[in-house]
Structure 1
Amino acid sequence: MRPGLLRRRRDKAERQARRTQRRFARRQWRRRWLKWKPILAVVVVLALVGTGVWLLWFSSVLAVKTVVVQGATTVTEAKVRRVAGIETGTPLVSVKIGRAHDRVAALAGVESVEVSRRWPDQVVIDITPRTAIAVIDIGGKLRSLDKDGVVFGSYKKAPGDLPLVETPAGTDQRALREAASVVAALPPEIAKITDHVEVRTVDEISLALTKGRTVQWGSSADSAQKAQVLLALLDHPASVYDVSVPGQPTTK
């Protein structure tokens, strides 16, 4: 056999052997991959979970950097932050939103509040403040009174644009709520001639009008009807108007 032909056959056999070896190696690698693939997947998942736990609970990346207070007009932002008790540096995920909500909601000047997380590093406290509908004089101290009869805030001098309510110290919450309802129900024609509203109990509410006149109002029930009856009675001069039972008003 000629040397050239023999060499070509040998080279072909070697190439065939290398191809066979490569195919075998690939099959071996695929078998190993199929064996290790689930293990590697578990390792990757555990690594991701571990990284997430670290980020959420232990790193400063997702920790509280700022407590944002919005809408605070009847209480200072500093007081809201202090009462909420949320410390900077606390992992945001571990902030007790419900506890902070309850603490802030207990402030007298707060009507309602929402506390929420703002990722990655803020807690937002959004306040709806109470709105004064009257000034209430309780035992000589001037305070704000809202529509629900809640007393909050204080004044050195009563503002002229709010009606005045007077009541002795110790008046209960129900009576204050009734008084607030009466104030809210007064039409402008009566409000402008009312010097102040006096409250003693739930059904002992009266109006002190100008010119020394008094209106026995009773409770806040049927206030709209009582107001209409009073407007009609004011055409008849008297010192006392009793509209506590609007269907049977009297004057003195």
Structure 2
Amino acid sequence: MAGPTTAERGERQQESSGPPLVRRLRPPRLRTIVILALALLLLAGGSLWLLYGSAWTRVERVSVSGTRVLTPAQVRAAAAVPVGDPLISVDTDAIAARLRRQLPRIDTVDVVRSWPHGIDLKVGERTAVMVEEKGGKFVEVDRGGVRFATVSQAPKGVPVLELSLSRDGSAAASLRRFDESRLVREAVAVAARIPAAVAGRTRVVKVRTYDDISLELGDGRTVAWGSAENGAEKARALTALMKAAPGARHFDVSVPTAPASSGS
């Protein structure tokens, strides 16, 4: 009598061994689940203790970088970093806000956690592009038109901003449209466009109205600049005009396509 065929032997072997995929996907035992859950809880608890309860991750030092006029001690005092507190709980945004509020000279600030014990205060100070003279002292103004500090002596090479704002006639109408803060920003924009050869000799930037801004140089020469618009064209026109008329005392580039000079 003939034995089973090869196909029949394969079917019997598969039936006797059971489905292998089902055996591999058998759910874990309850004890394994409990052990894993306890391990996760211990890990989470240990992490929380390390961050909030351990002395290994508390604030011990505050470093300061980027100061020029301010001192690191001034920055640390204004920052009021809570030394001894857990590093993870330090409110870096609040520290940055305090620094900007108490030290207007600070333009940019970055408060960084330096694990495991430090807070780094990286500051950038404003730079004066002009000053306003008030009561014998000088108020520094930055490139954004922000008045940020009062000093007893004007920084070297920085022009004085003179606001000669008229309250009558067309000048008053201009002032109603462009307030003082806007006019200060316009003056700053003009100062940024003064040719390098002229900027070092500029002593005063005078503002009467939005479109009546002029420069006074250290040698007594004057420049009628007009508004802050078309600053690059006016700078080129002034450079060419001064070369063409070196003996002139007054230059007018308020209309850069038709510059003029006068006096001798």
TM-score, normalised to structure 1's length? 0.73
Which secondary structure state, in structure 2, belongs to the residue aligned with residue 199 of structure 1?
strand
Deviation at 1:168? 4.3
Return closer, same or farther for 1:245/1:41 CA change in 2, 3 Å cut-off: same
Q: Distance in 1 between matches of 2:209 and 2:82?
A: 44
Contact 1:74 1:130 in 2 (8 A): no
Please, which of 93, 102, 108 is the counterpart of residue 104 of structure 2? 108
Are 2:249 and 2:261, in contact at CA under 8 Å, matched by a contact in 1? yes
Q: Aligned partner of 1:133: which letter?
A: V
Structure 1: runs of 5+ lacking an equivalent: 1-33
| Percent identity for Structure 1 against Structure 2 | 37
Aligned equivalent of 1:72: 67
Offset at residue 73 of structure 1 (A): 1.9
Matches for 1:44-59 after TM superposition, within 5 Å: 44-59=39-54
Name the CA distance, whole Å, in 1 between partners of 2:201 and 2:117.
54
Q: Deviation at 1:245? A: 2.4
Give the structure-2-normalised TM-score: 0.70
Of 196, 205, 218 in structure 2, the residue corresponding to residue 188 of structure 1 is 196
1:228 and 2:236 equivalent?
A: yes
Provide the C-alpha distance between the structure 2 equivalents of 1:105 and 1:169, rounded to a whole number of angstroms.
Answer: 31
3-state secondary structure, aligned to 1:113: strand
Which one-letter code corresponds to 2:119 in the other structure?
V
4+ residue segments displaced more than 4 Å: 168-171, 236-240
Q: CA deviation at 1:179?
A: 1.9
What amino acid does structure 2 have at the position aligned with 1:246? Answer: P
In the other structure, the counterpart of 2:255 is: 245
* Distance of aligned partners of 1:114 and 1:61 in 2 relative to their CA distance in 1, 3 Å threshold: same
SS in 2 for 1:126: strand
Match of 1:176 among 169, 181, 184: 184
CA distance in 2, matches of 1:60, 1:201: 62
Q: Could you tell me which residue of structure 1 aligns to residue 207 of structure 2?
A: 199
Cα distance, 1:117 vs structure 2: 0.9
Cα distance in 2 for partners of 1:224, 1:101 equals 37
Corresponding residue to 1:167 among 162, 183, 187: 162
Q: How does 1:21-60 map to 2 (within 5 A)?
A: 36-60=31-55
SS of equivalent residue, structure 1 residue 216: strand
Alpha-carbon offset, residue 59 of structure 1: 2.5
Aligned residues: 219
Distance 1:86 1:200, change over 3 A: farther
Task: Name the amino acid aligned to 1:84.
Answer: A
The offset of 1:125, in angstroms, is 1.2
Q: Are the counterparts in 2 of residues 138 and 169 from structure 1 also a CA contact under 8 Å?
A: no
Show CA shifts across 1:81-134 (max 9, x none). Answer: 233332111111111122222332443212211111111111111112222333
Distance 1:140 1:248, change over 3 A: farther
Q: Using a 3 Å threshold, how does the CA distance of structure 1 residues 110 and 201 change in structure 2: closer, same or farther?
A: farther
Taking the aligned partners of 1:79 and 1:199, their CA distance within structure 2 comes to 35
Provide structure 2 residue ranges, at least 5 long, that are not aligned to the other structure: 1-28, 166-178
Question: 1:136-163 CA deviation, whole Å, 9 max, x = no partner?
Answer: 4245421333322223334323343x13
Deviation at 1:231, TM superposition (A): 3.5
The 1:163–1:82 alpha-carbon spacing in structure 2 relative to 1, beyond 3 Å, is closer
- Of 213-222 and 129-138, more deviation after overlay is shown by 129-138
What is the deviation of 1:239? 5.2
RMSD, matched Cα? 3.0
Name the counterpart of 2:145.
149
